[in-house]
Amino acid sequence: MNGSLSDKELKLLNSNKGLVNLLDRHNTSIAKTIKYVKYESELKKLQSEMIKLQNWVYDNKMKVVIIFEGRDAAGKGGAIRRAVEHLNPRRLKVIALPRPTKTQSSQWYFQRYVECLPKEGNMVFFDRSWYNRAVVEPVNKFCTDNEYNIFMSQVNEFEKMLIDSGFYLLKFYFSISKEVQLKRFNEIKNSPIKRWKYTKVDKKAQRLWKEYSYYKDVMFKKTNTKICPWNIIQANKKIYARMKAVSMILETIPYDKNYKIMTEKIDF
């Protein structure tokens, strides 16, 4: 086997990450391990750039909003974790809002999202966003047809107001196949540490696949605007999706790529 591997691949395989991956992960192989270690190495480079981006955002008092949407089990949360893993937590928030309270339901739909928007120098990552009303809510009858129509008539103007007010707004949609979603649901249900993620909405997702597809297509058609387009990421392969999402953040926001990674001084 060694004769078929290059010196570089042997070095990757014999690294700490390579050995741990090979020994600890189920259903793995030498080829998969080498691929995984390469991914970890490339991801580290991207995460280093994310630190530069965050410093640039802070020093230039920018406001960044990044939306992650997609079907259940599409890998949105995992991609966000990789993007923010080494960032300063005091300068960012990851928002995953629960179902609205009665008071929130009586307010303007966008109000509770407006309250989560970043101040100058900060970034906010939405693990699902106001686009719940474009797909999840109508499919599961969590909103009326009138509420859905009002949202669809307002969302483009709402996003335009954010951009006109100086926000960088990025929208990602993680796209997976029905077969991959079922496989991931089964993995979640069989995992003692992930089982809590499986919700009542998840239980109906496979049966309502066509309904989700219909509202998703309408969402793309009506909200894929020139000033705020959707970035669709093929997410059947988690590693690819995570790398692609972080790369697109770095490519889209015009930060200074020569920016230094500075250590923040804290006075006691």
Instruction: Give the model's pLDDT for residue 2.
Output: 47
Instruction: Give the model's pLDDT for residue 59.
Output: 96
Q: Which domains does the chain have, with CATH numbers?
A: 61-252 (3.40.50.300)
What the block records as the tokens of 170 is 């990025």
Helices 76-84, 238-252: crossing angle, 10 deg rounding: 50
| pLDDT, tens digit only, all 268 positions of the chain | 444 666 655 555 555 554 445 545 566 666 677 778 888 889 999 999 999 999 999 999 999 999 999 999 999 999 999 999 999 999 999 999 999 999 999 999 999 999 999 999 999 999 999 999 999 999 999 999 999 999 999 999 999 999 999 999 999 999 999 999 999 999 999 999 999 999 999 999 999 999 999 999 999 999 999 999 999 999 999 999 999 999 999 999 999 988 776 655 444 3
Instruction: Give the model's pLDDT for residue 17.
Output: 55
The DSSP secondary structure of 24-82, one letter per residue, reads HSTT--HHHHHHHHHHHHHHHHHHHHHHHHHHHHHHTT-EEEEEEEESTTSSHHHHHHH
Global pTM reads 0.86
> Among the residues of 118-237, which ranges form H helices?
136-139, 145-164, 178-189, 200-205, 209-223
Span 79-115, pLDDT tens digits: 999 999 999 999 999 999 999 999 999 999 999 999 9
